[in-house]
Amino acid sequence: MAEDQSSYLKQFYQLRSLDPQDYTSDSYSLEFEYTKDLSQQYDLLQKLINIDNANANASANSKNNLRLSQNTTSTKVLKDDVDPLGYFDSVVDELIDKDIIDDSRDDKKLEFFVSSSNYNPTAYVRNLIGDSISERDFVTHFEFLKDDIAQREVFLKNVLNKEFIKFINIKNSLDDVLDNFSKNNKNNKTYESLNSLKQNLDNSLKESNNILLPVNDLKQKEDILNQSLLFINHNKFFFNLPKNLNNYIRLKDYDSFIYDYNKGASFYLQSLNELERDKSENLNTINIKIMNKIWLEVESIINEYKKITWLKLTKFKLNDLSLNNKNNSNYFNLSSNVNNDNNIISLICKLLELGVVDNPITEFINLQYDNLMHDLNTLYTDYILKIISSKDKINKNYGDTNIISDFNFLIFLFKNGEANNVDGILNHYNFSEFSDLPLILNYWKLILSFVKNYTSLVENIIKFSKIIEFFLKGEFLSQYNALLSKKENINRGTSTIEQHLNLTDYEAKRINIQNEKLVMAFCSKLIDFFKTDATSFGMLAEKKNNIEATPEKVKGTLLEFGYLPPFTNSITTIYQNNLILIEISQKFQKLVDSNINDYTLEALKNCFMKINSSLTNSIMINLVNDMTFFYKIDIDETEDDEINLIDIVELYYNIFLNISSNFLFQNDLKNSSKLKLYPSKNLLQTFQFQFLRSLNLFIEANLKKNLLLSNEGDNYLNLINFFKFKKILNNLIAKFDFYFKTSLANEKLSIFVLLDNLEIEIFDNLIKPINMEINNILNDEFNDSNDNSKDWWSEEKIPASSISKYLKMIIAVIVRTKIRLLAKLSTKSNTNLSNNSFLINKIIIKILNNFLIKLDQASKTKKIGICGLQQFVADIEYLKNYFHHLIFEDIFEEDRQVILHSIDKFYGTLKNITNVNINDVVYSVRGLVEGSLTNSKLESRAV
């Protein structure tokens, strides 16, 4: 019986032994067959049922043996803890060593067991293998796994394809048998037996599934592992791309960075298309997710690199850019290696190659435009606030300070004996250090600092225009294409790059307008700075576009120019304005030389013209103001009698004219062909007018006030100063003609008329008391009401025997006047008697002329006889001979003609009265005159 059961079991399971050890040797390929003959089917089924009933215990033991066999087989197939690639002896130990799991009980280990349904090949490769294994070792172990899989492949295929199919066939056969049997046999006992058999078959199938499922799962996992490893090997470059990109960034190897990135992008799109075409396999879906995840990491690196590159580009300042090389295209030169992050061109190229959305060219240009505008506004506002604060400090500390202190430097130059060497003064002394009050000089330094720093932005404006020219005139595109031709795998043909490189006409026009706007804003602020009046100057810091018009009441005054410091003098003003204009001229010339367009050139010319005009007017108004109050300089405070007001004025104007020439003509920059630094005709006329006006004011407000004094002694000295000033004035006008190519000396200037009138007035005041004394003598002599008077002029029988007493008295008055004048002049150490003798003679001539006029007037009222005629002629001839040296040698021709004309006129009057030839009378009294001159020899020498 037992033998039959064994036989049936072997036949049923197609085994050669009931204790199989090897599938190949212990099994045979004999499919279970059944016949449709019901009797045979029943017999077969009955046998199986009997076998099952008779050997229930044997069946139970058989199940246990099968389970044991399953466990043994599973263990033989693959041990969970063994690394399938052969890297490690124990997967669990390695996981613990790498702190991936805490101990062997951690369920996370199942992700790393090939036999587990939770197996994750990506986690296995990334966490266990990672970067610790070289590529070469990885290939070796991968081959080990492939060999192991190949060895098991035949066994797995037999198990899956034969044994499992065998069970399916048996099950199908039994189901058919049971189905037919149940339909044709309704015997209850038999039916129960069939149900029992069916249950046993189901149990057997479950048992067989328990045996086969691990084997099938193992096969699937091995297939997945095999495909994963193949996928990893095929996409090794792509998987390493994030790490490689980071390494390139660290090494600053941009060429490799962009090459691998573009290669990775193409590989990713190609691989994704291939995987997308066949999503039927679940593994492809997983691989797509893996590819997307890696590409997200790549994009994250690229986006961060873009962000850093954008940041570097935005942080770039035009101050960092040098334009020492005049050849623009040579300076902005691209090379095959664009790893220099300090090069704006390399940064823009990187962004273009990385495929940014915003155009880095226009963004960079717009950013630099905004930065320049910000720099203009910020620097301008900051300085305005500093200047206002400095001006307040001057007002607070000086207030109503007398203007004397403003000209102490002129007195200092006199004391040093340098007054006659203006060129030496200008070369030796820095007027920024001593020509004004300390706070005022500090203020001027602040003004000059503003001009230097503000106009230095011209360099950045030029750089900005050069950058625009580089991008808009095709130089960048040409160099960029040449650069790309040397590179491989670059996205050179994308529409975004083409759009960025080929700017539209609108974009190009807008960029060019930005350049013009910069120059206009630069010029506008400078014009406002120098033309805004003092009442509105503070508004410049408030960024208001429209500054209020200058009030009429401040026009023509120092308040018209808000940039001027309070209390400054015109010497300091012209010196500082000259420095300012030189600075502006040089920077403007750089702009002109940078090949600006005609519109911008006209804006610069207009700006320079307005600034020049404002600076010039501020100088001249300050000059007029100085001359108005020049008399306040108290020369006595110097404790030096050799310095007087006229000397200071002469030095003042000599310095002023010298600096003015440099200021107006800008000699250092006169070769400019476009900016036209030469002053306009109107500006020169204004300068000339204000120059003459200042001299007029000095005469009216200073010279006239000091000269027209009542004190006789002061009048003598003031008269000397007057003629000294007259001489100085002629020299100043000659210098003005020399410096400014004019001919004022040949014109009938109103200032000379003013001086002539003043001269007459001064002389009248000076000799008025002398003339009064002489007039009194004449009145006493010729007044009819005087009882003591003798009408000697009417007696015909008494010839002239001596010079008249009244004439001797008048000569005595003149001699005393000369002695007083000489005495007064001798008290002043700075008075040179020989140089001023003409003035003494001029005074005497005027006294004599006044006497002759009065004598002529007196004679017209008298009836003169022959003897009286002789007396008059003798007196006049005596007078002529007495003052012969004076009249004929020591006076100017015009004065000589005046006195001779008065004598001739008097002789004409005598002739008309007496109808006698005067020459005969002169001859007749010659002896008398000579005798009288001999007797008065001593007096003559005194004179």
Mark which of 632, 647, 673 sits at the end of a domain: 632
Name which of 873, 872, 871, 859 is nearest 913 in CA terms: 859
| pLDDT, tens digit (0-9, with 9 covering 90-100), for 265-300 | 988 888 888 877 765 566 677 788 888 999 999 999
In which band, very low, low, confident or very high, does the pLDDT at 398 lie, cut at 50, 70 and 90?
A: confident
CA angle (543, 549, 552) in 5-degree steps: 145
Contact 441, 433 (CB under 8 A): yes
In a domain, 195, yes or no: no
In a domain, 906, yes or no: yes
Beta carbons within 8 Å of 279's beta carbon, 6+ residues apart: 285, 288
- HSE (side-chain half, CA atoms, 13 Å) at 252: 8
Q: Which pLDDT belongs to residue 2?
A: 54
Segment 197-203 long-range contacts (CB within 8 Å, at least 24 positions apart):
197/45, 197/48, 197/49, 197/52, 198/174, 200/52, 200/59, 201/171, 201/174
In a domain, 718, yes or no: no
Residue 27 phi, psi dihedral angles, 5° rounding:
-135, 160
In a domain, 362, yes or no: no
In a domain, 486, yes or no: yes
Question: Does residue 30 have a pLDDT over 50?
Answer: no
Mark which of 602, 632, 662 sits at the end of a domain: 632
| pLDDT, tens digit (0-9, with 9 covering 90-100), for 121-136 | 777 777 777 666 666 6
Mark which of 600, 632, 664 sits at the end of a domain: 632
Query: Quick check: pTM over 0.75?
Result: no
Tokens of 98: 């790498």
Domain range for 147 is 91-182
Q: Which pLDDT belongs to residue 67?
A: 39
Residue 83 φ/ψ region, left for φ over 0, alpha for ψ in the -120 to 50 degree band, beta for the rest: beta
Lowest mean pLDDT, pick from 301-305, 669-673, 935-939:
669-673
Q: Which pLDDT belongs to residue 736?
A: 92
Read off the amino acid at residue 502: N
In which band, very low, low, confident or very high, does the pLDDT at 23 lie, cut at 50, 70 and 90?
A: low
In a domain, 171, yes or no: yes
852 vs 898: CA distance, rounded Å: 11
DSSP 313-333: HHH--GGG----SS-HHHHS-
Residue 699 burial (C-beta neighbours within 10 Å; 0-12, 13-18, 19+): buried
* Number of domains within the chain: 3
In a domain, 447, yes or no: yes
In a domain, 277, yes or no: no
| pLDDT, tens digit (0-9, with 9 covering 90-100), for 689-739 | 989 998 988 888 766 666 655 455 566 667 777 788 888 899 999 999 998
| pLDDT, tens digit (0-9, with 9 covering 90-100), for 786-839 | 554 456 666 655 566 788 888 888 888 888 888 877 776 665 544 554 556 777
